[in-house]
Amino acid sequence: MRTWFSEDHRRHFAQAELSGGEFVTPYERPARVEYVRARLIERGLSDIRDPGPADMAPIAAIHDAGYLRFLASAYDDWKAAGLGGEVIAANVPTRGMRFDRIPQHIDGRVGYYAHASETAITGGTWAAALSSAASAQAAARDVMADARLAFALCRPPGHHATRDQYGGYCFLNNAAIAAQMLRDGGAERVAVLDVDFHHGNGTQNVFWDRGDVLLASLHGDPAHGYPYYVGYADETGIGDGAGTTLNLPMPPGTGWDTWSAALDRAMDAIAAHGAQALVLSLGVDAFKDDPISFFRLDSPDFSRMGERIARAGLPIVACLEGGYAIEAVGINTVNVLEGLLG
Ligand code: SP5
Ligand code: ZN
């Protein structure tokens, strides 16, 4: 198994995250991926390569052109407007307001393109997000060249980024970009399996009306956790995508028995879809000690997760998503990968 990883992830490290009425050091911080890299090497999975620059075409196929221009210049525009600190959305369009007008002022534009204000944009965010997408792209290319499994050690993560909104620590949807590349490379039917604790709202948004890419997401019930306003079981897709979204929300305290039964349902749906390749949105924040989540998986459960997913016999592009119990992120992530490898 090859891992793709860019040091440019370091260029995104916001000063603060707005968390429950306080500013805290962001949970999504650079050390997360260093623990994963160290654990990969410790376990002999040391083929770790830099992906080089991102290919913009597959990114533009997933994201809105205005959104990409916004991300590329948001920090400079913020500074040019005389604003201090980092870019944070303080105003957002809501019930009764206009969604068909994009403000000119950066303070208004940022709220148009954000769905959560915990996530700040820094001077290096765009470069880091591009480098993360580049890792997903390189992993997709490996699988198109017949690798069984390739790992994109992505940071920042991606699954909360919709076609035209960032939030939840995500800017570019790495998994969706990889899935699109697999489609363009000849796989007629692709599945995205999202095991991150949080609902894969961005991936759901991207493929909502498409029948070619199935999304199955296992996550904390949105009645109790982020992203709060999406991720319920009765969201199943529209048009050509009717029936190709499967949401499996679960309550606080969920452990392996309930979680693995949901995984069985997801794997059945992936088989029924006739998927020829799988993108795994690999977050490990379902871990019992995760500081922002409410499931109770233990480290050996992540090995079982990988073993169960491997039974589908599909080629897999795994993209790192969340996981904030920093020291355990490496162990849990590599447990899944070793389970996949068998
Ligand atoms: C990729 C990913 O896992 N994104 C998660 C985004 C979560 N955003 C909301 C975080 C809420 C943090 N609340 C802290 C409570 C601390 N006890
Ligand atoms: Zn998460």
Confidence of residue 288 (pLDDT cuts 50, 70, 90): very high
Encoding tokens for residue 113?
């393109």
Confidence of residue 65 (pLDDT cuts 50, 70, 90): very high
| pLDDT given at position 51 | 98
Cα(168) to centroid(ligand 1), Å: 7
pLDDT in tens, 161-177: 999 999 999 999 999 99
What are the E-state strand segments in 21-172? Answer: 22-24, 48-49, 149-152
| pLDDT given at position 6 | 98
Residue 227's region, left for phi above 0, alpha for psi from -120 to 50, else beta, is alpha
160 labelled catalytic: yes
Cα(285) to centroid(ligand 1), Å: 10
Closest residue by CA, ligand 1 atom 17 = 292
Give the residue among 90, 92, 98, 89 at the shortest CA–CA distance from 71: 89
SS3 138: helix
Closest residue by CA, ligand 1 atom 16 = 292
Alpha carbons within 13 A on the beta-carbon side of 101 = 8
CB 282 within 8 A of CB 196: yes
**What are the CA-CA distances from residue 152 to residues 37, 55, 210 (Å)?**
11, 15, 24
The Cα 131–Cα 5 span in angstroms is 8
Write out residues with Cβ below 6 Å of ligand 1: 19-20, 118, 157, 160, 168-170, 196, 198, 226, 283, 285, 291-292, 321-322
Cα(172) to centroid(ligand 2), Å: 15
The Cα 316–Cα 304 span in angstroms is 16
**What are the CA-CA distances from residue 186 to residues 140, 143, 180, 252 (Å)?**
12, 11, 10, 40
Given 160, 198, 219, 273, which residue is catalytic? 160
Q: Which atom of ligand 1 lies closest to the CA of 158?
A: 1
CB 39 within 8 A of CB 327: no
Encoding tokens for residue 197?
């604790």
Mean pLDDT of 57-69: 98
pTM: 0.98
| pLDDT given at position 30 | 98
Q: What is the DSSP string of 57-88?
A: HHHHHHS-HHHHHHHHHHHHHHHHTT--SSB-
Please give the share of the chain, as a percent, with pLDDT higher than 90.
100
pLDDT in tens, 87-142: 999 999 999 999 999 999 999 999 999 999 999 999 999 999 999 999 999 999 99
